[in-house]
Structure 1
Amino acid sequence: MKKAMIIVLFFLAVWIFVNTPIVNNYVTGLKENALPAVKESNSLMESIKKNASTYEKPPSDAKIDRVWKAIPGYSGVKVDISASYKNMKKLGVFDEKKLVFTQIKPKIHLNDLPASPIYRGHPDKPMVSFIINVAWGNEYLSDMLATLKKHNVSASFFLEGNWVKKNPELAKMIVSAGHEVGNHSYSHPDMAKLTAAQAREQMVKTNEIIEAATEVKCNLFAPPSGSYRDETVKVAKELNMKTVMWTVDTVDWKKPTPEVLINRVMGKIDNGSMVLMHPTESTAASLDRLITLIKQKKLKIGTVSNLLNEERIMK
C-alpha cells in the first residue's frame, strides 16, 4: 500500500511539473519552430516534383531512316526526385543546378537493326566525329596528331591493311595517342564490285594486320570511296563491324585552300555529323581552326564509337 502511494505521488508530481507555464512555453516553442521546417521541406519536395517534367526527355530508339539509313538511339533523361531533394535540402530552396538525373535507355539499339550503313549520329546529340581514312599521306600525320593533341580531341582513323603492313609504327603511334582505329579494307578496292567472299577476305586480312600491329580489334569498317553494296554491309556485320560512311565531306583530296575546306565543313556541320578527311596538306593546315570553330558551336568532338553510343550528353 505504501509503495503504491509513492508511485501515485511520483506521477502526480511529474504531471504538475509538465503542466507548469515554463514547460508549456518551452514545448510550444519547439512545435512552432518545427512547423516552418516541415512546411519548408514539403514545399521543396513539391517544387522539385512540379518542375521535374520540364527537364525530362524521353529516350529515342535506334531506327532505319529512309535517307540516313541506320541512326543510333539516344537515352532519355529523368529527374531523380529523392537525390535532387538531398542535394537541395541544406539551403531548402529549388536550384536547377543541383538537380540529379538518371538516364533511360532506348528499347531498340543500333545492334538490333538489320545490317545497314551509318551516315551520322543521333540528330539530338551535340557531338561530331572526324573520320580520317589513311592509305597514304604519312608526311601529314604527325602535324594532324599534334593538332588533335593540342585540342584534346580523339578522332577515328580508318587504316588500310596494306598501309599498316608497311607502317606498323605509325599505326601504333595513332593508337598510343588515344585515337580509335577502324578497318579501311586491305588494298583499297571498289567494294561494290567484290563478291561476299572477296569482301570478307579484305576485311579479315586487315583486321588481323591491325590487331597484330596495335593489339586493337576493329569494330568499325569504312569502305574505300564510300563504295559498297548490301552484301558488303552484311559481311561487315557478320564480322562484328558497323559500316561507317560520312555526313560531311572535306573533299580534301582535291587540295582546297584552308578557307574553302573550313567553309565547306562549317556550312553543313551539325549534331551527329561525321566529317570525312584524309592526311592531306589541306586538312593539316585547316585542322586547328576547324576544331576551334566546331567547339564554338557548342559541339563536342569524339570518336565514332562515342558518337554512336546512346549516352546522353548533359549540358
Structure 2
Amino acid sequence: MNDYILLITMALAFFMTVLISPVMIPFLRRLKFGQSIREEGPKSHQKKSGTPTMGGLMVIVSITLSTLIVVMFFNPTEPGVEIFLVLFVLISYGVLGFLDDFIKVALKRNLGLTSKQKMLGQILIALVVYLVLDRHQFSTVIELPATNVGIDLGRGYGLLILLMLVGGSNAVNLTDGLDGLLAGTAAIAFGAYGILAWQNAEVMEVAIFAIAVVGALLGFLVFNAHPAKVFMGDTGSLALGGGIAIIAILTKLEILLVIIGGMFVIETLSVIIQVISYKTTGKRVFRMSPLHHHYELKGWSEWRVVTTFWTAGLLFAVLGLCIEVLLT
C-alpha cells in the first residue's frame, strides 16, 4: 500500500506543478518579476535577464497541497508533528526567499535581503524547529553511518539543528545558478531520503513529503530545463535547502546529508575556498565560484555542466543509500 501512496504523491505533485506553471509564468512576467543578472557573472547569462523568477512558488504550492492531500486521504496513520515541521520549514524558508526575491525584482536591489537579515530569519526558523522537537522529547542522539555508534549531543543537538537548517538552506541556494541545475540535483537528493524514510513506518509522512518534492521538481524541470522559461529564485532554493535539512533531522540521518547532498557541500566549499584564498593571497582558486560557474568559464556548455553535476549528485545519492542500507 505504501508503494501506491508514494506513486500517487509523486504523480499528484508533478501534475500540479505542470498545470500551475503555465498560469503562473505569464503572471510573473506581467508583474515584471524578471531575474536581474549580475554583471560579473558569465556573459552568456546576460540573455537570461528578464526571465521570470520566483518559480519556487509553484513548487512550494504543489508540494504543500499534494503532501496534505495524501496525508489526509491516503495515509492510514494519523498526522503527527513531523508533517507540521516539514511544511513549516518549507513554507517559512520559502517566505524568507520570497522577500529576498521581491526586494531584488520589485525594489531593484540586486542583492535582496542583507546577509544579516537573511541569517536572522534562518536562525529564528531553526529556533522554532528546535523548540518543537524539544517539546516532543525528540532524540538528541546522532548515529555514525555504517556503525552502531551513537553520540548523545544533549542540548548541543539544538546547535546541530541550527547548523543544518541554516547551512542547508544556504548551500542549496548557492547551487541554484544554471537552468535545471538545482531542480535536478535536489530531486535526486530528496529521492534518496524518500527511499530511506519509506523503509521506516514511523516517518512515513516524511517519505510522502520527500517524494512530493521529487514530483514537484520533475514538473518544474519541464519549464526550468535549458533554456529555462522560469527560474526558481531564492523562494524555491531556500525552501528546498531547509526541506532537505529537516528531512535529515527527522529521519535521524543527519550525518548522511553530507554524502547524499554532496553536490551542495562541494558548491559551498568552492565558495569558501575562493573567499579564503582571495582574502589571504589575493589569488582565486577558481575562475568563478560557485563551482558550476568555473566550468562555464572554462568553456563547458551550460547543459554539459548541468548533466555532469546531476550525474555526480546521483553518485553521491547512491553512495549514501549503499552506506545506510547495505553497511548499517
Which TM-score bucket, shorter chain as reference?
A: under 0.3
Task: Answer 1 or 2: higher relative contact order, Cα 8 Å, separation at least 6.
Answer: 2
TM-score for both structures, normalised by structure 1: 0.23
Larger helix percent: 2
Larger Rg: 1
TM-score for both structures, normalised by structure 2: 0.23
Larger strand percent: 1
